[in-house]
């Protein structure tokens, strides 16, 4: 099977998947932004270290099982692997939560209740992820949207209740509200998803190894960034890590929205050639939106100062603008990378991802030691800006024909 069939198959029904992606990430962004606003930078640094555990776990599980299954187009297709997804999420929730709790308890910047609350968040994320990806694999994206909407709504209600009944939410209350809302949301779809799973075909997990190329690329997107966060305390200390994490969090809604817009723009019917044309138009939209978002958040933090609280208190306009340039390059290149996948040039893409990873990790370590948080931001701008001059050569316009066949 050609790789391009896997991609175009995945993009079918992309409007529904884009909505699910947006709603799922909206609750995560709300929790992350709340965390940034209520925790000082040093405490946020510890939470950032805890969240590395869940981020790496999600990266591995999605690349090996959840995301990989969506690219399978032979045999029973993605629904043949739906049976294993809720089990994987459930089996991994307890050990991942235990690892997060142990890491948080090792530092004095968080108390025991806050460390355990963060671990509960990790368990809820894994539980929901297994169910929502099973629903997507079974072509029942509406169930995934229902679960994510219930999570977002439940978190909003619990958060609002905490604000009304108290003097403001503490981090412990915020994290517990997010975790409880996630577990409750999973209960809204557990029965229908498991009922569908019982009647679905069962493919052997070893068949997922054929999708390894997608898994490796996914890991190359996730692991380097998390590795930078893991070693950042050595270069900039926990407080510096907290400030850097605050900047990353502030731009999380941009990345979330860009992913949703990109999926919606390329979704629907049409040949691979038509998909390619829509992807190229999406580049302009994402770059323009990124520039506007960067301007807005910079003004809200400095000089207006509306968001200058918690870990964002000491983040200035220069760092926000520089980081925004890196994110502009990152989200603007995503459709270009999709074009490379569409043309079947996975080796080309893997080489570029590998170079980006090396630049990001090595550059962050070296620049962070010399220039602190500014060095971490500069390394990110360099890594994500690296492929921009190569955009036209990565996937030339004449490489994908009208019917989607890569040209020689």
At 119 the pLDDT is 97
The Cα 363–Cα 371 span in angstroms is 11
Supply the DSSP symbol for 106: T
Round to the nearest angstrom and report the end-to-end CA distance of the chain. Answer: 18
The Cα 51–Cα 175 span in angstroms is 12
At 215 the pLDDT is 64
- Degrees, nearest 5: CA angle 52-55-61: 140
The Cα 333–Cα 353 span in angstroms is 12
What is the signed CA dihedral for 262, 264, 266, 270, rounded to 10 degrees? 180
Low-confidence stretches of the chain (pLDDT < 50) are 1-12, 401-408
Percent of the chain, pLDDT > 90? 50
Q: What is the three-class DSSP state of 406?
A: strand
Supply the DSSP symbol for 405: P
Tell me the per-residue pLDDT of 284-304, one tens digit each, with 9 for 90 and over.
889 999 999 999 999 998 878
Supply the DSSP symbol for 5: H
Phi, psi at residue 401, to the nearest 5°? -80, 180
Where do the structural domains in the chain lie, given as residue ranges?
A: 3-399
Could you tell me the CA-to-CA distances from 178 to 31, 158, 230 in Å, in that order? 7, 8, 24
At 310 the pLDDT is 87
Tokens of 334: 């995503």
Radius of gyration of the chain (CA): 21
């Amino acid at each position: 099977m050609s790789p391009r069939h896997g991609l175009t198959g995945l993009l079918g029904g992309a409007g529904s998947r884009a909505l699910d992606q947006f709603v799922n990430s909206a609750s995560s962004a709300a929790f992350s932004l709340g965390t940034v606003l209520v925790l000082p930078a040093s405490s946020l640094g510890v939470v950032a270290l805890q969240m590395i555990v869940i981020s790496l776990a999600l990266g591995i599980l999605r690349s090996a099982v959840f995301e990989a299954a969506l690219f399978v187009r032979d045999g029973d297709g993605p629904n043949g692997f739906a049976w294993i997804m809720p089990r994987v999420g459930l089996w991994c929730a307890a050990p991942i939560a235990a690892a997060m709790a142990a890491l948080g308890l090792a530092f004095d910047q968080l108390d025991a209740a806050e460390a355990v609350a963060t671990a509960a968040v990790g368990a809820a994320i894994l539980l929901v992820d297994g169910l929502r990806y099973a629903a997507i694999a079974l072509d029942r994206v509406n169930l995934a949207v229902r679960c994510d909407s219930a999570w977002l709504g439940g978190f909003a209600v619990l958060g609002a209740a905490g604000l009304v009944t108290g003097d403001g939410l503490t981090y412990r209350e915020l994290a517990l509200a997010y975790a409880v809302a996630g577990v409750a949301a999973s209960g809204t779809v557990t029965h229908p998803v498991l009922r569908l799973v019982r009647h679905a075909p069962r493919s052997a997990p070893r068949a997922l190894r054929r999708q390894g190329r997608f898994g490796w690329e996914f890991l190359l997107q996730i692991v380097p960034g998390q590795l930078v966060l893991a070693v950042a305390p050595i270069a900039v200390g926990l407080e510096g890590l907290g400030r850097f994490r605050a900047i990353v969090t502030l731009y999380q809604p941009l990345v979330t929205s860009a992913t949703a817009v990109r999926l919606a723009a390329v979704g629907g019917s049409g040949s691979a050639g038509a998909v390619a044309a829509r992807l190229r138009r999406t580049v302009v939209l994402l770059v323009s939106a990124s520039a506007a978002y960067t301007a807005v958040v910079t003004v809200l933090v400095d000089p207006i100062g509306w968001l200058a609280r918690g870990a964002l208190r000491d983040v200035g306009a220069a760092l926000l603008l520089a980081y925004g340039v890196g994110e502009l390059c990152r989200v603007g290149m995503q459709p270009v990378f999709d074009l490379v996948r569409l043309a079947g040039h996975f080796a080309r893409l893997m080489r570029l991802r590998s170079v980006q990873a090396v630049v990001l990790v090595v550059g962050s370590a070296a620049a962070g030691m010399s220039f602190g948080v500014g060095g971490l931001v500069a390394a990110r701008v360099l890594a994500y800006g690296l492929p921009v001059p190569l955009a036209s050569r990565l996937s030339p316009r004449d490489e994908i024909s009208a019917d989607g066949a890569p040209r020689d």
